[in-house]
Copies of this chain bind each other. A is one copy, B any other.
Amino acid sequence: MASSNSSSPLKIGIMGFGPFAQFLSQTLLKRGHSLSAASRSDHSLLCSQMGVHFYRDFDELIGSDAEVVLLSTSIISIDNVIRSVSFDRLRRPLPLFVDVLSVKEYPKELLLQVLPEEADILCTHPMFGPESGKQGWKGLPLVYEKVRIRDHSLCQNYLEIFQSEGCIMVEMSCEEHDKVAAKTQFLTHTIGRVLAEMEIDSTPMDTKGFQALLQLNKNTVKDSFDLYGGLFVHNRFAKQELENLELALKIVKEKLLGSANGVSDL
């Protein structure tokens, strides 16, 4: 294990340099950590502008001196990405593996299966993104499970980034996360997607409630469909929530039709 002290800057290697990794990086850099990244696409120009070292492939990053490897690929690609990596390139002490996926049971199982037994694993889900976190992270939740931690000091050092930014630190099992997230985040994304499908648009007479829906729609579609699809496909509780939503709409419709009949009965 890399020994570390809670205030020292970390060497963090990021796998998957998409919108969320770019967003996280701004704060990680600001806090003085040194970053490298590898990704499916070539982000070398952006990385050089930001001051992030860009590796041409994942194996190079895995062979680097990163103390923390941050997994930030899309939910649906993580399996392919992680299974394509040559872990025999890893240097000792092994880095801490941290994922940021918006589902948690799935990467937990995957990482336990694929990573070398000596590697520590921290599963996290920052409950915010480029939109909701653009004014800072204060008061926004970081959910995490210490799945397999032996170097507690390194793990704490990483978690303290979020703590120092003012995040609400929520330690919770990956299973519990997925149960709750299906009822909250997946539902929210689904409503945002439904509104987008309806092509809702602002008017001169919007109520405040409708303005909130416009905002939700706008923020939801900024996230990739891969992300939304991943919330459904890799959270085993999501299907039930989709069914609950359909059922609730059905009940509301029946109540409306009931009141319509009540009126015509008068």
Assembled-state Cα–Cα distance A8/B115 (Å):
79
Assembled-state Cα–Cα distance A215/B215 (Å):
13
* Known A-B contacts A76-B263, A256-B229, A256-B242; A188 and B204 likewise in contact (beta carbons under 8 Å): no
Q: Which residue of B lies closest to A194 (CB)?
A: B248
B-side contacts of A262, CB under 8 Å? 229
Query: With an 8 A cutoff between CB atoms, is A192 at the interface?
Result: yes
* Known A-B contacts A184-B207, A191-B213, A208-B128; A253 and B249 likewise in contact (beta carbons under 8 Å): no
Query: With an 8 A cutoff between CB atoms, is A260 at the interface?
Result: yes
B-side contacts of A255, CB under 8 Å? 193, 225, 229
Among B184, B204, B260, the residue within 8 A (CB) of A141 is B204
A contact set with B: CB distance below 8 Å: 76, 125, 127-128, 132, 140-141, 143, 168, 170, 172, 177, 180-181, 183-185, 187-195, 197-198, 200, 203-210, 212-213, 215-216, 219-220, 225, 228-229, 232-233, 242, 244-246, 248-249, 251-253, 255-256, 259-260, 262-263
A sample of 15 inter-chain contacts (CB < 8 A) reads A128-B207, A132-B207, A140-B208, A184-B200, A184-B205, A184-B206, A184-B207, A188-B213, A209-B219, A212-B212, A212-B215, A225-B255, A232-B260, A233-B263, A242-B253
